[in-house]
């Protein structure tokens, strides 16, 4: 059964949304919409998409192998689509937590996405070209091993990706309470991207915010705490190369200077803020490196 890549159909809609957002912010609200930052986001996205095409072949191979050896058989029923919607969204939540709480994935994959001090629709496309090489995407072919057809998994993943793009904006304040309670909204995702202490390590959801409510990682946007975007480890984000390699460079430097295998492994697999006992042994949530 052939299913469309929702994200490709979504791109023209995203382009229109970006133009409308730019007009609204600059003409109506008289707020900046920095062209150079938009340009960097586009360059990073093109690099990301280029490597995604290469790893996409592995996605297909692993997914087909997994489906050939599937543990269950969901088929293409409506019930299977509904089940996959929830299962895939939970996988999205879990891998997103991993990207924030394991320094390797933060450095190789996710720091780039959070490094901008701007927050608009183009931020959704700000992904590291190295992200496909981190291996976080391997969680999705495993859904085929569980019993979901590869085409369904790819369809749901592209649907989720398209939806999440619309949560990257400051132009939408809050939606009706029922929507805010169930779904990830721009308000929720602004909190996720904020570096304010009250907001760090919150709101990891992709489409549904219910996972954050269940696992205690939810934080509502507060009127008395305006969101400040970016990462806590301030560095020069005006150069694309610096943006891409800053996290890995910092991690490798810490690995080299720390003594002992445990300290070196901890630097890779523990939270980005983790330090060994010889340096105080502190872990401050996602971190001071954010």
DSSP secondary structure, 28-95, as one string: IS-----HHHHHHHHHHHHHHHHHHHHHHHHHHHHHHHHHHT-SS--TT-HHHHHHHHHHHHHHHHHH
Q: How many of the other CB atoms lie within 10 Å of CB of 287?
A: 21
Q: Report the distance separating Cα 3 and Cα 152, nearest Å.
A: 7
The answer to whether residue 37 sits within a structural domain is yes
The answer to whether residue 34 sits within a structural domain is yes
User: Are 154 and 168 in contact, with CB atoms under 8 Å apart?
Assistant: no
pLDDT at 10: 86
User: Are 72 and 236 in contact, with CB atoms under 8 Å apart?
Assistant: no
Q: Based on the number of CB atoms within 10 Å of its own CB, is 36 exposed (0-12), middle (13-18) or buried (19 or more)?
A: exposed
pTM, full prediction: 0.92
pLDDT band at 282 (very low <50, low <70, confident <90, very high): low
Judged by average pLDDT, the poorest of 1-15, 81-95, 249-263 is 1-15
Whether residue 286 has pLDDT greater than 80: no
The answer to whether residue 174 sits within a structural domain is yes
Domain containing residue 174: 6-215
Tally of residues, the chain: 290
pLDDT at 4: 64
pLDDT at 284: 47
Between 181 and 286, the higher pLDDT residue: 181
Between 280 and 55, the higher pLDDT residue: 55
The answer to whether residue 229 sits within a structural domain is no
Please state the rounded mean pLDDT for residues 259-268: 96
Judged by average pLDDT, the poorest of 23-37, 132-146, 261-275 is 23-37
Whether residue 272 has pLDDT greater than 80: yes
Q: Based on the number of CB atoms within 10 Å of its own CB, is 102 exposed (0-12), middle (13-18) or buried (19 or more)?
A: buried
Judged by average pLDDT, the poorest of 128-137, 269-278, 281-290 is 281-290
3-state helix vs strand vs coil in the chain, percent to 5: 60, 0, 35
Please state the rounded mean pLDDT for residues 212-238: 95
Rg (C-alpha) for the chain, rounded Å, is 19
Which residues are within 8 A (CB) of 25 and not within 5 positions of it... i.e. 6 or more apart? Answer: 31, 32, 33, 120, 170, 171
pLDDT band at 1 (very low <50, low <70, confident <90, very high): low
Please state the rounded mean pLDDT for residues 189-212: 98
The DSSP secondary structure of 144-162, one letter per residue, reads HHHT--HHHHHHHHHHHHH
Domain count, the chain: 1
The answer to whether residue 171 sits within a structural domain is yes
Between 1 and 194, the higher pLDDT residue: 194
Q: Based on the number of CB atoms within 10 Å of its own CB, is 220 exposed (0-12), middle (13-18) or buried (19 or more)?
A: middle
pLDDT band at 125 (very low <50, low <70, confident <90, very high): very high
pLDDT in tens, 245-254: 999 999 999 9
The answer to whether residue 175 sits within a structural domain is yes
Whether residue 8 has pLDDT greater than 90: no
pLDDT at 290: 45
The answer to whether residue 220 sits within a structural domain is no
pLDDT at 22: 93
Average pLDDT, the chain: 93
Question: Which two tokens mark 65?
Answer: 């192998």
The answer to whether residue 22 sits within a structural domain is yes
Judged by average pLDDT, the poorest of 1-10, 50-59, 62-71, 170-179 is 1-10
pLDDT at 289: 43
pLDDT at 287: 45
pLDDT band at 285 (very low <50, low <70, confident <90, very high): very low
């Amino acid at each position: 059964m052939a299913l469309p890549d929702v994200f490709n159909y979504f791109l023209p809609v995203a382009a229109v949304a970006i133009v409308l957002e730019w007009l609204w912010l600059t003409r109506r609200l008289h707020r900046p919409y920095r062209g150079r930052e938009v340009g960097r986001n586009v360059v990073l996205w093109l690099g990301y998409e280029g490597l995604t095409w290469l790893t996409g072949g592995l996605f297909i191979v692993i997914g087909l192998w997994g489906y050939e050896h599937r543990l269950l058989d969901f088929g293409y029923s409506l019930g299977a689509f509904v089940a996959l919607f929830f299962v895939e969204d939970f996988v999205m939540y879990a891998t997103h937590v991993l990207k924030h709480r394991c320094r390797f994935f933060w450095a190789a994959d996710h720091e780039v996405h959070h490094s901008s001090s701007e927050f608009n629709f183009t931020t959704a496309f700000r992904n590291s070209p190295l992200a496909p090489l981190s291996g976080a995407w391997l969680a999705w072919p495993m859904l085929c091993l569980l019993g979901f057809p590869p085409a369904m998994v790819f369809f749901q993943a592209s649907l989720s990706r398209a939806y999440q793009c619309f949560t990257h904006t400051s132009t939408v304040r809050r939606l009706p309470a029922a929507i805010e309670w169930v779904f990830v909204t721009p308000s929720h995702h602004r909190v996720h991207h904020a570096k304010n202490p009250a907001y760090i390590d919150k709101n990891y959801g992709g489409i549904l915010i219910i996972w954050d409510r269940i696992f205690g990682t939810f934080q509502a946007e507060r009127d008395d705490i305006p969101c400040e975007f970016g990462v806590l480890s301030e560095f020069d984000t005006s150069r694309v190369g610096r943006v891409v390699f800053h996290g890995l460079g910092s991690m490798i430097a810490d690995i080299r200077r720390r003594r002992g295998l445990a300290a070196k492994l901890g630097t890779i697999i523990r939270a980005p803020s983790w330090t060994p006992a010889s340096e105080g042994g502190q872990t401050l949530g996602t971190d001071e490196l954010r």
